[in-house]
């Protein structure tokens, strides 16, 4: 009987290296270490997470990671350690010396190392039970502000299982978009859903790809590094689960429908329902394929065209909750509405193909 070949070890991708460097920076910051050292790891995470090539492939062809901007010999050695073993000794040491309760604080939506340290220093928070007691006594708002305090309290009350803190999936989202953009026929790649609405935690990632039907983007997608298994692989939709447990769904959308699909898959559900009602009131039909008058598509290539068809300016994803943003948009006061809600809105051009 032929001996079964030993499976090759799973390939470590840039997103995993970046996540490890970010965690090191978090733990260093939690311990109030040298800010220059913290910044070095943050910068390394940013540089590696934004590369247009896999570091593993770069090293395999003989290139030195120390040649990357901001990556000196010490960080390059740690990159090699991570590629060889999946971790680095420094991370193990930092985890060992950091209270597990404090590490758990970092995983709560809205709590980064600075806020976690503030809780430790001002309220003597040493465990999640301490944090629960402080939340029950309404002591968190004075330290974190009312919005963050409410989010932390909600997470402590029982966060949904299988969800991921947004910060932990940002490098993954960037890596997916970066690796799919060069595929044949692809015009644009956007991660939609609650991630695009900048919710503090996400259950999965929805990736929209504006491309021709003959694009090989979905073939590339199911072969992404760190994929544990493939759930689906069809002509217009594919789904994978990463080794971290994060599920990613990808949809191939024709460019003429990309804006409508982006509105639909960004959500929220309540916001989308409100938009469809406005469309119906104008004798139109709105769905993920476009805005239609009868059988004729009158909008859909861009989000701006979809909103304009129902008499509105483009509404930033962060505000799409159907809690007054549509009325504010109609009145031309979206900026004031965002300030009143305390919702930071990223200043960027609406996503569109090209």
Say which CATH architecture domain 100-156 belongs to: Orthogonal Bundle (1.10)
Encode pLDDT of 54-75 as tens digits: 888 888 888 888 888 889 889 9
Q: Distance between CA 205 and CA 35 in Å, rounded?
A: 32
CA end-to-end span of the chain: 54
Name the pLDDT band for 140 (thresholds 50, 70, 90): confident
Encode pLDDT of 167-209 as tens digits: 778 888 888 888 898 888 999 999 999 999 988 888 899 999 9
More confident of the two residues 29 and 287: 287
pLDDT at res. 52 = 67
Residue 3, pLDDT above cutoff 60: no
Say which CATH architecture domain 267-341 belongs to: 2-Layer Sandwich (3.30)
Sequence spans of domains, the chain: 14-97, 100-156, 166-253, 267-341
pLDDT at res. 5 = 36
pLDDT at res. 8 = 39
Encode pLDDT of 301-330 as tens digits: 999 999 999 999 999 999 999 999 999 999
Residue 345, pLDDT above cutoff 70: yes
pLDDT at res. 101 = 66
Strands 296-299 and 164-165: unpaired
The beta-strand segments (E) located in the chain are 164-165, 186-191, 201-202, 204-211, 227-233, 237-242, 247-253, 285-287, 290-293, 296-299
Please provide the CATH number assigned to the domain covering 166-253. 3.30.460.10
pLDDT at res. 6 = 36
What is the average pLDDT score of the chain? 84
- Weakest-pLDDT range from 99-103, 142-146, 346-350: 346-350
Residue 225, pLDDT above cutoff 70: yes
Domains 14-97 and 100-156 share a fold: yes
Residue 111, pLDDT above cutoff 60: yes
Q: How far out from the chain centre does Cα 43 lie?
A: 18
Q: Distance between CA 349 and CA 265 in Å, rounded?
A: 18
Instruction: Write out the H or E segment, with its range, that includes residue 220.
Output: helix 217-222
Q: How far out from the chain centre does Cα 344 lie?
A: 16
Q: Distance between CA 109 and CA 168 in Å, rounded?
A: 11
The DSSP bridge partners found for residue 240 are: 230, 248
pLDDT at res. 346 = 63
**C-beta separation of 353 from 301 below 8 A:** yes
Distances (CA, A) of 245 to 14, 160, 173, 229: 17, 14, 14, 10
Residue 263, pLDDT above cutoff 50: yes
Count of CB atoms situated within 10 Å of the CB of 61: 7
Name the pLDDT band for 2 (thresholds 50, 70, 90): very low
pLDDT at res. 26 = 86
CA atoms in the 13 A half-sphere facing the CB of 326: 18
Residue 354, pLDDT above cutoff 70: no
Encode pLDDT of 119-135 as tens digits: 878 888 877 778 888 88
**C-beta separation of 279 from 286 below 8 A:** yes
- Weakest-pLDDT range from 61-75, 100-114, 240-254: 100-114
Name the pLDDT band for 349 (thresholds 50, 70, 90): very low
The DSSP bridge partners found for residue 190 are: 208
More confident of the two residues 104 and 303: 303
The token duo for 56 is: 């593993």
pLDDT at res. 293 = 95
Residue 18, pLDDT above cutoff 70: yes
Please provide the CATH number assigned to the domain covering 14-97. 1.10.150.110
Q: Distance between CA 84 and CA 191 in Å, rounded?
A: 30
pLDDT at res. 7 = 35
Q: At a CB cut-off of 8 Å and minimum separation 6, what does 229 contact?
A: 240, 241
Q: What are phi and psi of 87, to 5 degrees?
A: -155, -170
The DSSP bridge partners found for residue 205 are: 248
The mean pLDDT of 87-107, rounded to a whole number, is 79
The token duo for 92 is: 């193990």
The token duo for 8 is: 């090759």
Name the pLDDT band for 10 (thresholds 50, 70, 90): very low
């Amino acid at each position: 009987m032929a001996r079964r070949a030993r499976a090759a070890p799973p390939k470590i991708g840039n997103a995993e290296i970046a996540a490890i460097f970010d965690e090191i920076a978090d733990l260093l910051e939690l311990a109030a270490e040298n800010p220059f050292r913290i910044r070095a790891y943050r910068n390394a995470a940013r540089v590696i997470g934004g590369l247009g090539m896999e570091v593993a492939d770069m090293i395999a062809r003989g290139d030195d990671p120390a040649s990357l901007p901001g990556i000196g010999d010490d960080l390059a050695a740690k990159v090699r350690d991570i590629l060889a073993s999946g971790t680095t000794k420094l991370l193990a040491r930092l985890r060992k010396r950091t209270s597990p309760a404090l590490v758990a604080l970092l995983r709560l939506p809205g709590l980064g190392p600075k806020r976690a340290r503030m809780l430790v220093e001002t309220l003597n928070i040493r465990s999640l039970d301490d944090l629960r007691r402080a939340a029950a006594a309404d002591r968190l708002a004075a330290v974190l502000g009312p919005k963050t305090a409410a989010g932390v309290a909600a997470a402590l009350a029982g966060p949904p299982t299988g969800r991921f803190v947004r910060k932990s999936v940002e490098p993954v989202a960037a890596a997916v978009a970066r690796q799919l953009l060069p595929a044949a026929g692809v015009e644009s790649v956007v991660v939609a859903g609650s991630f695009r609405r900048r919710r503090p935690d996400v259950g999965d990632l929805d990736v929209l790809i504006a491309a021709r039907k003959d694009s090989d983007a979905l073939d590339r997608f199911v072969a992404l590094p760190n994929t544990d298994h493939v759930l689906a692989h069809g002509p217009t939709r594919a789904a994978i689960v990463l080794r971290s447990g994060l599920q990613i769904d990808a949809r191939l959308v024709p460019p003429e429908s990309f804006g409508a699909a982006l509105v639909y898959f960004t959500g929220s559900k309540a916001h989308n329902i409100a938009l469809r009602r406005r469309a119906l009131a104008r004798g139109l039909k709105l769905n993920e394929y476009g805005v239609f008058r009868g059988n004729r598509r009158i909008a859909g290539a861009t989000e701006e065209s979809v909103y304009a068809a129902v008499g509105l300016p483009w509404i930033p994803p962060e505000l799409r909750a159907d809690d007054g943003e549509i009325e504010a948009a109609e009145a031309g006061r979206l900026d004031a509405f965002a300030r009143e809600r305390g919702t930071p809105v990223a200043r960027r051009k609406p996503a569109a193909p090209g």
